[in-house]
Amino acid sequence: MHAVASTWTLPTPDSTQSKVSLIPYPVEVNWQHQDTAVHGPIKISTPYQSDDAGSGHLSNHIAQIFKESRVPSSAKTPAAHYHIQLIEGNVSEARISNEAYTLETKPNGVTITARHPHGFFNGLQTFRQLLYHNGDSLMVAGCKIRDWPAFQTRGVMLDVGRNYMSPDFIKQQVDRLARYKINVLHLHFTEDAAWRLQIKQHPQLTQAKFHWPTRQPGKHYTHEEIRDLVAYCQARHISVIPEIDMPGHSEAFRHAMGVDMQSPEGIRILKEVIDEVVSLFPAKSIHLGSDEVKIRMPEFMPTMVDYVRSLGKQVIVWSPGNQPAKKVINMHWGDHNGHQVDPEMKHLSTIGFYMDWIDSQSGVYQYFFQQPCDVPYGNQNAMGAVTCVWTDGALSNEKRVLTQYPFYPCSLTFAERIWRGAHQARPDLYAKLPQPGTPAYNAFAEFETRLTDHRDKFFKDLPFAYVKQSHIPWRLIGPFDHHGVNDRSFGPEQAIQDSYRDGNRTLTWEHQPAWGSAIHLRHHYSVFNLHQNQVAPDYWPATMNHRVGKGGGTCYALQYIHSPQSQSIHLMFGIGGQWGHSGGYRTARAPSQGSWDFSGGDLWLNDQRVTPPHWPFKSLPWSGWRKGRIEHAPLTEEGYFFRPPVPVTLQQGWNKILVRIPFGWWKEDKGQRKWFFNCVPVSWDGTHYREVDQLQYATTQDHTPNPPQSK
């Protein structure tokens, strides 16, 4: 595990100077240039004779930018009023020269300089974000920019093996991800549940009868669809890395072919599979999986790795997994406990970037404070990172990926971190926000302002369940000993006092407030192996680790909200559980009707209990793969960020919020879950979340909060 730093030295953008919000933020920005209005038609000058000559369809991308901005474009108008000029040239000091660019706005246009079409493309994505409307005028925020990425690989993985996603749906995500300079799409094609890639020599692999009945059986990608998707991605400078998982996660293969991968016949078939895969994907690498399986045939992975390499491709494998030699690229998915990253091997990281293990509000700060590959910048071995969207559970439809997972809030946060890098590793902030006044706090508060600006500007019609939270304080106390009765009532429910007696102990409120809407009292990873009596109370330290240790009990969170008038709002509220990802299916239990959660938590507003909604789901306990909830019951409204927020009324003046957050081993709870809650006022129109304007937050009602919410 990496050493814990106590500061944050990556420069924080000066919000007082920034005219628009940029994600990811460039290496250097000078905002001194004057803003200019765009008057069509548009003139486009590129250094390429044709967009078919390796230019990456740049003219088409420019035209699309202005079409979306409601300004006509034309490359044939010699006397155009606005000139987009692309000039070939080097960018000084750039770490990754092919993706570097400079951008400078001028009174009659913009000039982007780069040495490669990918650099021009990156510059155009930044230019897109510089556009804004002022009345009827389309404006460009005046600036001068110099920019390049910290890491060469910046990827998103979609688990299409467990749940099929249509090519059109994938293209929609590619469009949005490319705008944030994501440059790798990793597709996990094969699983126990299904085999999604057409193999002409072995058509039975994609037949429905060999797929799980709850996982879109028979749905797969033809060669023609793959070639079209690859070309679509290439035009947006995204490489598609296919994963053919072997020899584990291969039940569909075994059923279809009648042989195990770890056999001479299995190897023969897989070589034929690889031949077709190589013909479809021009990317430099192929992912061979290799994890979560008992190796019975020692020569299996070396044989397959050597075969792929003989075809001119590099091999990526999961780590932990089966690593046949140093000639592979390790993709780390566990943590550094139990295995050591070899800095001499090429490697990618997914650590801290598993989207299926997080909620929307805490996921953003977890992603923000990661240090990809444990280095400030990439190098020849530390290649970058991939954020993974594993879909272990059945999905009711492909769009659930955008709601049941915090897809857009965390993808944008990932794009920021992997483009800019991080000077320090801050695992102490993966599960809690820093205290105000620290560089780390200032950095996060500035970023979430940019993030919510993008939510409002670019995601108006899309799920984006995130609101600002860094300005929200909570007072915490506990744990009270509930003696195994999680819903037992304690003193804070009757009256707020400085201290309370609990048996022979005196409990007082924590001296420092906890900041944010998403509060971990103890993180899941601290008790990940509780079933084996292995705990790590200080691992991913949370707000109350020092109090709760590895035990249980009841904690309370207190907050006061000042409203300028009586008003109806909503609360985005949830307690504990881990709905929405693989671990949650195994450990979370559905609350009974009339309860907020299965563990006995509760919520009061102005000393009146807030009534829970009617739950349209029930518990189906974990009973093994292909059994119970994880396979047969897609999630509906289990997670606080993918169900309607609860309507409440704030009175004029101060409003008291009290949350009871217990933890204990009752009702078959195994204890391997987060000790956690999220509570935040939101404005909600049935789809979109926004902050409630003019609210102030405090831990007592005799003063205004510090710091105030910033716009």
User: What distance in Å separates the CA atoms of residue 623 and residue 693, rounded to the nearest whole number?
Assistant: 46
Q: How far apart are CA 427 and CA 449, in angstroms?
A: 23
d(CA 629, CA 633) in angstroms, rounded, equals 5
Query: Burial, 246: exposed, middle or buried (Cβ in 10 Å; 0-12, 13-18, 19+)?
Result: buried
Q: Judge contact between 588 and 579, C-beta under 8 A.
A: yes
Cα angle, residue 546 at apex, residues 545 and 549 outer, rounded to 5°: 65
Neighbours of 172 (CB within 10 A): 16
Q: Is 349 helix (H, G, I), strand (E, B) or coil?
A: strand
Residue with token string 């420092």: 512
State whether residue 697 is helix, strand or coil.
strand
Cis peptide before 298 (omega within 30 of 0): no
Q: Residue type for 232, please?
A: Y
State how far the alpha carbon of 578 is from the alpha carbons of 385, 467, 637, 673, in Å.
24, 20, 12, 7
Distance CA 636, CA 395 (A): 9
Residues, the chain:
711
In the three-class reduction of DSSP (H, G, I as helix; E, B as strand; rest coil), residue 520 is classed as strand
CA distance 116 to 126: 16
Task: Calculate helix-pair angle for 439-458, 360-368, nearest 10 degrees.
Answer: 130
Tokens of 645: 């927020």
Distance (Å, rounded) from C-alpha 96 to C-alpha 147?
10
640, with CB counted inside 10 A (0-12, 13-18, 19+), is buried
- DSSP annotation of 205: G
Cα–Cα distance measured from residue 412 to residue 451, given in angstroms and rounded to the nearest whole number: 7
Query: What separation in angstroms does the CA of 468 have from each of 465, 474, 689, 691?
Result: 11, 15, 10, 7
Catalytic status, residue 510 = no
Tokens describing residue 148 = 């390049």
DSSP letter (8 states) at residue 607: T
Place of tokens 């399986």: 293
In b/e form, how buried is each residue of 663-696, taking b as 16+ CB within 10 angstroms?
bbebeebebbbbbbbbbbbbebeeebbebbeebb
CA distance 618 to 38: 55
DSSP helix/strand/coil, 58:
helix
Strands (E), 260-352: 285-289, 314-319, 329-332, 347-349
Peptide bond before residue 24 is cis, with ω within 30 degrees of 0: yes
| CB contact set of 14 (below 8 Å; sequence gap of 6+) | none
Please tell me the distance from the alpha carbon of residue 454 to that of residue 180, in angstroms, as a whole number: 11
Catalytic residue among 292, 446, 638, 668: 292
What is the bridge-based pairing of β-strands 653-663 and 602-605? Answer: antiparallel
Helix or strand run (H / E) with residue 604: strand 602-605
Contact, 239 vs 183, CB < 8 A?
Answer: yes
Q: Which residue has the tokens 């569909």?
A: 252
Tokens of 333: 């998915």
Q: For the chain, report the end-to-end CA distance as a whole number of angstroms.
A: 37
DSSP classification of residue 217:
T
CA 416 remoteness from chain centre: 11
Enzyme catalytic residues: 292
